[in-house]
Structure formats: structure tokens, C-alpha cells
Amino acid sequence: MSGSSAERESFRLVLPYRYFALCDWLVEPSVEETNALLAVARADIAASDGRQVIICPAPDSPVTVHFEYLGARPAGITTGPDEWDGHIDLEVECPSGRIYIDQPTTQPIDLKDTLAAGPGTYAVRVARRGRQDETSPARDTPGRSGPEEYLVQMWHTGPLSPSTIEELEDLDEH
């Protein structure tokens, strides 16, 4: 994917634990960190602690995830035939500049060289549509690949934080 224009990669996920995460390959969040984020993400679209982004779909059926790396902050979420029900903007640090989609008990999906800017801090916009729960009924829109979809857009915002750099240096010394 190039930094000047977004290319969309799409994945169909079956989520036995009703969540998936976006993580850098050098970051291994603890169970406690993940559980804390799950509580926040279930009340909203997604949540981040700066180390990972957790997304919690509503149904027990498969969901489709669309991933885009953008060279710069997008103007907004598309309206019209490609309309999204809602979105949230988050931030995550990617020390290796390589990310993956983590699915508990399932093989991770390596997004390989998707982050063209390399290591650093990234903004993450997560949008959803088609969620079927008591607060947002699904809409029937032709051309959708499933009942619930997520759009994950990322763009580089700056360098790693000093605390992350220090943490990585401590790991190298051990």
C-alpha cells in the first residue's frame, strides 16, 4: 500500500470470543490490559490503550473488516451509498511498523507492509455499519458483504513516545 492513496484490504472474520484486536508485532498486551479494553470497547465501537485497538462486534456471526492505510488524516467518513453508522478516532503506537489483526484462538492476519511510514504513532479510525443490536438496527444496503462491517483506517501522526522507546531499549538490554 502506498502512502499517497488508500488501498482497501478486506477480511472475513469468525469471532468465537466476539472481538478482534489490531496490534504491532513487537507489542504483547497482557490479559489484564486486554480485559480492561474489552469493557470499554463493548460500550462503544472500539477502544485503545495506545498499545492495541480492541473492536467488539455485536453478533455471533462473521464480520467483514476493511483495512486502509492513508497517507494523511481523512476528511471524514463517507456518506451516501458507502455510509457508515458511526466511528471513533483512536491512537496506537507501532514500534516495528508492522501490524496484524489478532483473533483469539485463531491465526493472526499479518497486514505485512501496510504502514508505509514505518515505526511510529498512528491515528486509527474505526467505523461500523450493519450492527444489529438494541441501539442501532441494521440497514439493508445493496452490495454489502455481510450484516456487520468495520472500516479501519490508519495514518501516521508522529514518532514513538519516549516511554515506548525506553521500554524497547529495556527489552534489548535483557
The per-residue pLDDT for 154 is 94
Lowest mean pLDDT among 35-39, 100-104, 138-142, 165-169: 138-142
How far apart (Å, rounded) are the C-alpha atoms in residues 89 and 84?
A: 14
The predicted structure's pLDDT at residue 131 = 77
Q: What angle do CA 60, 147, 98 make, to 5 degrees?
A: 75
- What percent of the chain lies above the pLDDT cut of 70? 80
Average pLDDT over residues 2-19: 77
Q: What's the confidence (pLDDT) of residue 109?
A: 93
Helix (H, G, I), strand (E, B) or coil at 9: strand
- Extract the C-alpha cell encoding 128: 461500523
What CATH number does the domain located at 8-173 have?
2.60.34.30
Stated pTM of the model: 0.83
